[in-house]
Structure 1
Amino acid sequence: MLSRKTDNRSSKANKNRYKKHNNRPDKRSKMDKKKEVSFTKTMKRLLDYASGDKLNVLIVLIFSIVSTIFAIIGPKIMGNATTEIFNGLISKIRDGGQGIDFSKLLKIIFVLTILYIISTVFSYAQSYIMSGVAQRISYRLRQEISQKINRLPMEYFDKNSKGDIISRVTNDVDTLSQTMNQSLMQVVTSVITVVGVFIMMLYINLMMTIAALIVMPLTMLVLSIIIRKSQVFFKQQQKYLGDINGKIEETFSGQNIVRGYNGERFEINEFDAINRKLYDTGWKSQFLSSIMMPIMNFVGNLGYVIVSILGGYMAINGRISVGDIQAFIQYMRMFTQPLNQLAQIMNLLQSTAAAADRIFEFLDEEEIDLSDKLPLEGPVQGNINFDHVRFGYNSDNIIIKDFSLDIKAGQKVAIVGPTGAGKTTIVKLLMRFYKLNSGKISIDGIDIDSLDLESYRKNFAMVLQDTWLFSGTIMENLKYGRLDATDEEVYKAAKAAHVDRFIMTQKQGYDTILTEDSKNISQGQKQLLTIARAILSDPKILILDEATSSVDTRTEVLIQQAMDNLIKDRTSFIIAHRLSTIRNADLILVLNEGDIVEQGSHDELLAMDGFYSNLYRSQYEELKGAN
């Protein structure tokens, strides 16, 4: 994207939001207080995205079970080897027997080696398959987010920071991907290990198992409380991460203004305020999660002490073999290790749940209603009717109060008026960027709200004051509104917009790559390229919003000539600040505070000696004074 200005309403909303950070402590809204993140529900919805990989997930589960079972059997077999060595040494000392049976010992070691090799192979296979599953889930989420953006009403972008939306696509999806890739199967493995090891511990000795696990219920209760508390801070952490991305995006895109007004200190203070919020929630969430590991270590060490004392007592009484004690201690380590892993993974899963919740919150946003919409078929004439249109960006601040107008096909309609009169809002409503509060807009007698958006908007072309070009070649940018255009048609449109000479001065001509930091293209040249794009799209209805505001007077004359040819037999809406550019319009609408105060041709309006006449004379005097 080469240039894009932030909407004034959105900027003011962001400023107010950042001022709130500085002026008063952050409080959770009533909605936030009522809405607790449902960890289970969120994770279940996330796992639903793996429905297309059910076979792969099943294979991973089987591999995980097999790998874990083989790893669990290992300590018992190793205990048998220890018992064999212990019994051999004791028999040799007491009775002078043969001692250790090395052939039997080697067989045990061989079986143990095979088990561990198989366990390792299955573990590697499950990791390989799960990596693909995790990446496909991330791909689907990003794809849904991208499609969702195109279905959201414009109000959403006015009320939400672009940086926060970007954060959901990048940071939040990356958090999900990393957790699923690294930790999801660890959860499965840990659970299977805990269950399997518990069974083996019961098989070895019931009393030692009870002694080892006697403090476990209390530990689980404490951990569950910590998890619930920390989840709130993880949610806030993801939110403030989105806020800080929005602030960075806003500041970087407005560097000229920031430096021109010496606003560096203000921006630093604003950033520090949000960064402090992120720091506070970050350390709280990480601290609460980090204390889970020491708790688990304490439980594990306490269990070792209890088992060592009880096991030694039982061995003395001949109620358990030395090898079984060794195996039991290994199982205890295997039992506490996955619990420790689960404690660590819960830290990651909480971040994942918070990230997933933000993504699903975005995906659940109300969309534009596209149901029961009819395609706009047949050639469009271009008759436009506004019938008692009423609209406000906020319901308590109505901008367009009662706007009615009938425009015939092919008419050139100019809209003028002071700043804030509602000029740009009128064409935004015509493009169906916003929903009317009341009233109706029709095209060729058909209510535009009943029409399919794509078939409706393909009849329009827009040239705005805020130029928009994306990173790509000049040819690709010009074809944006009509992808099937031939190169010859592109050349013709560029010549009509008087931008062909500039393009040919570039080393690669029409194949020149435009980037965000292109230094060889001015704002006026960008404007000419967008005009050429509109000419190429060959629309039936044309919207020009201060289309020549960034070009010099000589170029403006040439563009006006090109526009005169372009708007022939087309309905056109021209929003202009310089009244000299719309003198040949068929109809000039003079807006003030959302109402039409005057309308007519240039000469008719001057003869009225009213609002338009005053505007025209004031501009003429300014121009005369400047000369």
Structure 2
Amino acid sequence: MAKESGKAFDFRLFKRLLAFTNKYRFTFYFVAFAAIAMSVLGVLSPHLLQLAIDRAIFAKDLPLLQYYLLLMLGVLVLEVLFQFSFIFYANWLGQNVIKDIRVKLFKLMTSFRMRYFDKSAVGRLTTRAVNDIETISSIFSQGLFMIISDLLKMAAIAGIMLYKSWRLALIVFAILPLIMYATRVFQRAMKVAFEDVRNQVANLNSFVQERITGMKIVQIFTREKTEYKRFEEINEKHKKAWVKTVWYNSIFFPIAEMASSIAIGLVVWYGGLNAAEGGVITLGIVTAFIQYSQMLFRPLRQIADKFNTLQMGMVAANRVFGILDTQSHIANTGALELDKAKGAITFENVRFGYNENEEVIKDISFEVYPGQTIAIVGATGAGKSTIINLLNRFYEINSGRILVDRNNIKEYTLASLRGQIAVVLQDVFLFADTILNNITLNNTAISEEEVIAAAKEIGVHNFITSLPNGYHYNVKERGSMLSSGQRQLIAFLRAYVSDPSILILDEATSSIDSYSEELIQRATDKITEGRTSIVIAHRLATIKKADRILVMDAGKIVESGTHEELLQRQDGYYKNLYEVQFMTEEAI
């Protein structure tokens, strides 16, 4: 990853970016050719104008004047055609490149381990995947090829000016060092300024995304004014970052314009006097030099502007490649395919911590036999949900082994392992899509008829058909159009249609009405039937039906047994938990 500094250009990063154009090599070369053709055609017009003045107008040769005018028209038409081709195909190339980068980035992000997302702001990642990648396209549409075209045009103009009149050329060239120095300083300053701009854009996106997502919390705790003030501060920093770029532009461009005007004035003064005195400089050459001077200085000013665009694209590329270079994957080196698991699960002396030197799971060992239902109970933070994360290999354990069907889960391919495990989480996430697509997750192997049949089996078909458009009802973002109980039922159905060998349930019954709870209980009974099931239990009925109960406290299994066995232990952890948490429920 390129370091973020004031260095004007990073060729290593640029070379890496150009590698994405290999698929579109023909288009790349055509755009480069069009840029060269535009520079050549742009230089021809002043030359033809000079010839028209010196050879046709002064000689009063109308046919020759018409000939030169037709040539100028032909050059103009060709220039327009090449400009059209350049603009279209440069943008086409840019959009195809960023499409490929965005697809590669998204694919990579879907393979990151959960630890990466725990430490990365969603808004910042969204900025990288959307805004920054879109900025990269400007490298091809407005930056690279336009700079090449301008540089070629400037080189051609300089050569022609020296050929036509070295004296006038030296007058113009005398002003160039000032412009070039100013351009260099401007480029370096803008590189740093644009780094700050991208940082502030990411901060702004992250803040807005989080506050909109958590708007209910903001309003419940009446934090509107506080968040408004914080937003004002972030927005002020964003404004100042942009104003700094405006400040640099406001200094540079007037200096460039003034230098251009001085050069033209000197050309007219010296060339005009020489032409009036009958020297070697003609009126046509003076006229051509006025145009050449403008054409020489305009690209310099534009190159600075285009270099800004190029630098913004490079800054964006630097950030995107920073994610592409991230090594945060669960090692998918297993060769075994878990086609249809029997469902035997073994934890052997497993230790794990989300942070170094802070273990959440402390030397846990237990075994689940095929078809068994294991309930895990314990206080918040005991490590119950972590069991789910470790079995799915969302995180790698620090030590010990986890086995499925007597094989270490690391020996299985990730896709086949997770394909045999279905999870119903406490916090159900639904996409802004139809109920059907949220159930199948766009798996074409699962038909709508199969979904309907499964819904009838677990007793949620009537609930779904009661909604507008039934299975094609759009639940909107995060399932906001459904109640928490309804979202939970959708999650149960999603797990059921995937036909897993191992089922993990993190039940959530808080804030759920009695009707939804009854449906969830029925769904639980149906989908756990004949499957190995691990249930993080919040409901007494589920715990009682479990073949075995694991009681966790502070990352350890402190008790294990059936409901009746655990209640027989005097001063046992489970008995105390039952008396505090479950006895009232049982009485009800």
In the superposition, the TM-score normalised over structure 2's length comes to 0.93
After superposition, the C-alpha distances for 1:46-95 in whole angstroms (9 at most, x for unaligned) are 2222121111121122222223212211111101222236644xxxxxxx
Partner of 1:613: 575
For the residue of structure 1 that corresponds to 2:346, the secondary structure is strand
After superposition, the C-alpha distances for 1:493-513 in whole angstroms (9 at most, x for unaligned) are 212332211112124222223
User: Where in structure 1 are there 5+ consecutive unaligned residues?
Assistant: 1-30, 89-99
Give distance in 2, aligned partners of 1:589 and 1:568. 20
Partner of 2:420: 459
Question: One-letter code of the match for 1:391?
Answer: F
Partner of 1:357: 318
Equivalent residue in structure 2 for 1:215, among 161, 172, 175: 175
Question: One-letter code of the match for 2:385?
Answer: T
- For the 8 Å contact 1:482–1:536, the answer to whether it is kept is no
CA drift at 1:32: 7.1
For the residue of structure 1 that corresponds to 2:427, the secondary structure is coil
After superposition, the C-alpha distances for 1:230-278 in whole angstroms (9 at most, x for unaligned) are 2122122212212211111111111211111101112112222322222
Equivalent residue in structure 1 for 2:393, among 432, 439, 448: 432
Give distance in 2, aligned partners of 1:537 and 1:50. 40
Equivalent residue in structure 1 for 2:20, among 34, 49, 61: 49
Partner of 1:10: none
Partner of 1:277: 237
Equivalent residue in structure 2 for 1:108, among 61, 65, 68: 68
Give distance in 1, aligned partners of 2:190 and 2:410. 46
Give distance in 2, aligned partners of 1:83 and 1:160. 68
- For the 8 Å contact 2:551–2:557, the answer to whether it is kept is yes
Partner of 1:71: 42
Question: One-letter code of the match for 1:237?
Answer: V
Give distance in 2, aligned partners of 1:216 and 1:339. 9
CA drift at 1:570: 1.5
Partner of 2:84: 124
Give distance in 2, aligned partners of 1:248 and 1:286. 25
Which segment drifts farther, 193-202 or 281-290?
281-290
Give distance in 1, aligned partners of 2:17 and 2:461. 51
Partner of 2:110: 150
The 5-angstrom pairing of residues 283-362 of structure 1 reads 283-315=243-275, 316=277, 318-362=279-323
CA drift at 1:379: 3.2
For the residue of structure 1 that corresponds to 2:441, the secondary structure is helix
- For the 8 Å contact 1:370–1:452, the answer to whether it is kept is no
CA drift at 1:577: 2.8
Give distance in 1, aligned partners of 2:6 and 2:557. 46
Equivalent residue in structure 2 for 1:234, among 185, 194, 207: 194
Question: One-letter code of the match for 2:239?
Answer: Y
Partner of 1:526: 487
CA drift at 1:416: 1.1
After superposition, the C-alpha distances for 1:15-67 in whole angstroms (9 at most, x for unaligned) are xxxxxxxxxxxxxxxx9788968533333322222121111121122222223
For the residue of structure 2 that corresponds to 1:215, the secondary structure is helix
After superposition, the C-alpha distances for 1:306-358 in whole angstroms (9 at most, x for unaligned) are 32233234332512112111111110111111111111112222221221111
Partner of 1:393: 354
CA drift at 1:393: 1.2
Give distance in 1, aligned partners of 2:9 and 2:366. 51
Give distance in 1, aligned partners of 2:568 and 2:8. 66
CA drift at 1:417: 0.9
Give distance in 2, aligned partners of 1:330 and 1:346. 23
For the residue of structure 2 that corresponds to 1:404, the secondary structure is strand
Give distance in 2, aligned partners of 1:32 and 1:376. 42
Equivalent residue in structure 1 for 2:162, among 186, 202, 212: 202
- For the 8 Å contact 2:430–2:478, the answer to whether it is kept is no
Equivalent residue in structure 2 for 1:250, among 206, 210, 225: 210
Q: Over the residues paired in the alignment, what is the CA RMSD in angstroms? A: 2.4
- For the 8 Å contact 2:138–2:313, the answer to whether it is kept is no
For the residue of structure 2 that corresponds to 1:49, the secondary structure is helix
The 5-angstrom pairing of residues 586-605 of structure 1 reads 586-605=547-566
Give distance in 2, aligned partners of 1:561 and 1:113. 82
- For the 8 Å contact 1:460–1:542, the answer to whether it is kept is yes
Give distance in 1, aligned partners of 2:236 and 2:195. 16
After superposition, the C-alpha distances for 1:168-224 in whole angstroms (9 at most, x for unaligned) are 122112222345324443222211211111111111111221221123234323322
- For the 8 Å contact 2:338–2:417, the answer to whether it is kept is no
Partner of 1:3: none
Equivalent residue in structure 1 for 2:327, among 346, 359, 366: 366
Question: One-letter code of the match for 1:332?
Answer: S
Question: One-letter code of the match for 1:66?
Answer: A
CA drift at 1:158: 0.7
Question: One-letter code of the match for 2:357?
Answer: D
CA drift at 1:623: 4.8
Give distance in 2, aligned partners of 1:38 and 1:330. 31
Q: In structure 2, do the counterparts of structure 1 residues 221 and 212 end up closer, same or farther at CA, with 3 Å as the change threshold?
A: same
Give distance in 2, aligned partners of 1:73 and 1:586. 89
1:137 aligns with 2:108: no
Which segment drifts farther, 251-260 or 184-193?
184-193
1:260 aligns with 2:260: no
- For the 8 Å contact 2:35–2:146, the answer to whether it is kept is no
Question: One-letter code of the match for 2:127?
Answer: S
After superposition, the C-alpha distances for 1:362-419 in whole angstroms (9 at most, x for unaligned) are 1111141445321324531211111221111111322112222222222211111111
Question: One-letter code of the match for 2:117?
Answer: F
Q: In structure 2, do the counterparts of structure 1 residues 179 and 442 end up closer, same or farther at CA, with 3 Å as the change threshold?
A: same
Q: In structure 2, do the counterparts of structure 1 residues 434 and 481 end up closer, same or farther at CA, with 3 Å as the change threshold?
A: farther
After superposition, the C-alpha distances for 1:122-171 in whole angstroms (9 at most, x for unaligned) are 22122222221121112112211211111211111111111111111221
Give distance in 2, aligned partners of 1:342 and 1:179. 13
Give distance in 2, aligned partners of 1:67 and 1:229. 30
For the residue of structure 2 that corresponds to 1:141, the secondary structure is helix
The 5-angstrom pairing of residues 535-574 of structure 1 reads 535-549=496-510, 551-574=512-535
Q: In structure 2, do the counterparts of structure 1 residues 486 and 330 end up closer, same or farther at CA, with 3 Å as the change threshold?
A: closer
For the residue of structure 1 that corresponds to 2:545, the secondary structure is coil
Which segment drifts farther, 480-489 or 131-140?
480-489
Partner of 2:136: 176
Give distance in 1, aligned partners of 2:388 and 2:338. 22
Q: In structure 2, do the counterparts of structure 1 residues 342 and 598 end up closer, same or farther at CA, with 3 Å as the change threshold?
A: same
1:39 aligns with 2:1: no
Partner of 2:126: 166
- For the 8 Å contact 1:410–1:572, the answer to whether it is kept is yes
Give distance in 2, aligned partners of 1:620 and 1:379. 37
Give distance in 2, aligned partners of 1:218 and 1:81. 33
CA drift at 1:117: 1.5
